[in-house]
Structure 1
Amino acid sequence: MIFSYMRISTKKDSQTTDRQRLTLEGYANKNNFTIDEWHEERISGTIKANNRPVYKDLKSRLRKDDILIVTDLDRLGRNADDVIMELKELKLKGVRVIALDMPYMNEWNKVNDNSIYDMIIDIVITIKAHMAQQEREKTVDRINQGIDAMPIVNGKKVSSKTGNKIGRPNAEVPEEFIKEYNKYKNGEYGKMSATNFAKMLGIGRSTFYKYRDMID
C-alpha cells in the first residue's frame, strides 16, 4: 500500500495541509499511481516522531513493501537525529520512503528498485548524520560562547544579569543549556537519558547535574 503523511505545526484553522496534498497528488498523477491512505497531523515540529499520535499510529500499520510519501523529509522527525532513527526503523521494516524534497528519494523508478533504494537511503542517512553532528556542535558552541561572553572581575567570570562572581559552585548556567534542558524536561527529546543528553551537549555528567540543580 501507499501512504502519505502530512504535518503542519500550527493549530490555526487558517493553516491547512492543502498545499502538501496538492503536491503529493501531482506527484502521484505524474507517476500513474494512487495514494491509498492520507494521514494528516497538526503538531509542533519540536515534538519527537514517536510522540506524535497520528504518525505513531501510521507507522504501526506499515508493512514490508509499503511506501510512505512526504513532501519534505524533515516532516518525519524533530531534528536530523530523529529523522535518522525513523529512516532506519522504516528500512528495517522494509518500508520505502519517498521524500519529494530529496534528490533520488523523489524518483519513483529508483525508489521501486530495492537495490538502488537501499543505496540511496544509506547515503541519505550518512548526510543526515553529518547534519546532526553539526547541530550538536552549534549547540555546544552557543553554550561556550555564553560563558566566554561573561565579563571578568578580579580574575573571575561575572554574571551580566546578577553581578555575581562565577566560580564553583556559583557559575551562571548558559542560556543555551537552559533552553535545551527545558526541551529535555518537557519530553521533547523522548526518553533520552541524562547521560546521553549531556553527551549531546558536549558536557560532562557532573556539569549537567550542576547546571540542573542551579535552575530546578
Structure 2
Amino acid sequence: MIYGYMRISTQKERQTTDRQRITLLQYAEENSFTFDDIVEERISGTVKAAHREVFKALKTKTLRKDDILIITDLDRLGRDADDVIAELKDLKAKGIRVIALDIPYMNEFKKAQDSSIYNMVVDIVITLKAHMAQQEREKTVSRINQGLAVARAKGKTLGRPQAELSKVFIKEYEKFMSGAYGKISALQFAKIQGIGRSTLYKYINIYENKQSSEDKQ
C-alpha cells in the first residue's frame, strides 16, 4: 500500500495543500503507481509528530509492514530534526518505508522497493540529519556565548535583575540586628515581617551585598 501525507502549518482556509498534492500526484504518474490514499493535516509545525492526530492515526491504524509513506518534504515528518529522526527510526523499525521527495536517493521510487538499498539510504539520512542538528545546536550555543561576552564587555549585568529591598524591611532588619526586637530568632523575625525563611535569607543576602558594595565606594 502507498500513502501520501501532507501538512500545512496554518488553520487559515486560504492556505492549502494543493502544491503538495500536485507534487505527489506528478511523482505517482512519473513512477507508474496510484496512491491508496493521501491524507492532509492542518497543524502547527511546532507540534511533535506524536501529537498530530492525523499523522498518529495514519501511523498506528493504517500503515503496515512493507507499506510506503511519501511526503514532499522530509521536515514535514516532525517538529524539528530530532523529531524527524525519531519518526524515521520508528517507521523503519515497523518496516514502513518513507520516500521524501526533497532528499536525493531517498526520493527514488525503485530504490524504496529494495530493502537493503532503502535501509542503507535511510541510515545515511538519519546520520546526516543528526549531524546537522548537532551543528545547529552548537551554533546556537556559540551565538549565545558570543552575545553574553559582548554584553559583559559593555558592562551589562546578566541574569535576573536583583530584587529591591523596601525601606521598611531595611529599617526593621537593622532594628533586629541592633537588638531592638529583643532576643528572637531570625525565623521569628521573618514571621513578624510576614515572609518565609528562604525569602528572609534572600533579603539578608541582598542587604549585605549592598552594604559591602557601599563600603567599597
- Please list the CA deviations of residues 65-109 of structure 1 after superposition, one character each: whole Å capped at 9, or x if unmatched: 010000000100111111110100000000000000011111111
1:106–1:144 distance in 2 versus 1, CA, 3 Å: same
Task: Kindly provide the amino acid, as one letter, of the partner of residue 117 in structure 2.
Answer: I
Alignment partner of 2:65: what SS?
coil
Q: How far apart, in 1, do the equivalents of 2:158 and 2:90 lie? A: 45
In the alignment, structure 1 residue 15 sits paired with structure 2 residue 5: no
Q: How far apart, in 1, do the equivalents of 2:38 and 2:121 lie? A: 25
Q: How far apart, in 1, do the equivalents of 2:45 and 2:139 lie? A: 19
State how many pairs are aligned: 162
Q: How far apart, in 1, do the equivalents of 2:150 and 2:44 lie? A: 32
List runs of 5+ in structure 1 lacking aligned partners.
165-216
Task: Kindly provide the amino acid, as one letter, of the partner of residue 105 in structure 2.
Answer: Y
- Please list the CA deviations of residues 147-189 of structure 1 after superposition, one character each: whole Å capped at 9, or x if unmatched: 2121458xx7524996x6xxxxxxxxxxxxxxxxxxxxxxxxx
- 1:115 to partner: Cα distance: 0.9
Alignment partner of 1:69: what SS?
strand
In the alignment, structure 1 residue 128 sits paired with structure 2 residue 123: no
Task: Kindly provide the amino acid, as one letter, of the partner of residue 9 in structure 1.
Answer: S
Which residue does the alignment assign to 1:29? 29
In the TM superposition, structure 1's runs of 4+ consecutive aligned residues that sit over 2 Å from their partners are: 159-162
- Structure number, greater radius of gyration: 2
Indicate the larger mover: 20-29 or 35-44: 35-44
RMSD over aligned CA atoms reads: 2.1
Which residue does the alignment assign to 2:149? 148
* Higher helix proportion: 2
Which residue does the alignment assign to 1:6? 6
- 1:38 to partner: Cα distance: 1.3
Alignment partner of 2:45: what SS?
coil
TM-score (norm 1): 0.70
In the alignment, structure 1 residue 139 sits paired with structure 2 residue 126: no
Contact 1:152 1:158 in 2 (8 A): no
List runs of 5+ in structure 2 lacking aligned partners.
163-217
Residue correspondence of structure 1 range 34-183 to structure 2 within 5 A: 34-61=34-61, 62-152=63-153, 157-159=156-158
- 1:37 to partner: Cα distance: 1.2
1:118–1:152 distance in 2 versus 1, CA, 3 Å: closer
Percent identity reads 66
